[in-house]
Amino acid sequence: MMNRREALQLLATAAALQLAPRKMLAAVREARAVLGDSPALRTLNAHQYATVKEMAEMILPRTETPGAADVGASEFIDLILTEWSDEPERTRFMGGLNEVDGRTRAMCGKDFIECSAEQRAELMRDLGLKMVEETDPAQDWQEADSQSGTENHETFYPMLRRLTLTAYYTSEAGATQALHYEIIPERHDPCVQIQGAKVERQ
């Protein structure tokens, strides 16, 4: 049985995504069981939470499969910021999050979540273009090193995107409905007779 820090490491660093599908689902289930449900926000305030939730849903919206909001991506981000991220990472994330409202106020006189869908989409496009300009093509988002004590200068939007994707694809809904991984049966009954089936003697 993994401890809480091991569970956080598995999810926060996206290490689970490198496992084979069956092992990934088993590891993610165990990790999420260890962490349990967070009773309340501990790093994000209500307004920041609403902003993160909207931005995460714009990164992974609900379609024929669940979206980021459906799998609790914003709650996951609050958990990682609280229990895994170091102070410089938290400071960069929170500073960048506050700048989002600063940019939309300059653009349309409103906070991000109060802007129109078109205005929010415009800001997200700008953040995405800036991320592409600043990103080393040789570095994959799964390889972003978020180990405590390791120098990491990842800025707000890449961090938000990485955590949103990690939250989504390490959720059971994301893994089974988006990645189409096979759900691990809770138990295996090899000798259960199927009703109506005929068994021939050899």
Rounded to an integer, what distance in angstroms lies between the CA atom of residue 186 and that of residue 167?
A: 23
Query: For position 13, what pLDDT does the model report?
Result: 86
**What are the boundaries of each domain within the chain?**
4-137+150-178
Provide the token pair at 45.
């305030």
CA distances from 80 to 89, 112, 129, 143, 171 (A): 11, 23, 25, 17, 14
Rounded to an integer, what distance in angstroms lies between the CA atom of residue 48 and that of residue 99?
A: 11
Query: For position 152, what pLDDT does the model report?
Result: 54
Q: What is the pLDDT along the chain (202 residues), one digit of tens a residue?
A: 789 999 999 998 888 778 877 788 888 889 988 988 777 899 999 999 999 999 999 999 999 889 999 999 999 999 999 999 999 999 999 999 999 999 999 999 999 999 999 999 999 999 999 988 887 655 544 444 444 444 457 899 999 999 999 999 888 887 777 555 544 444 444 444 434 444 444 4
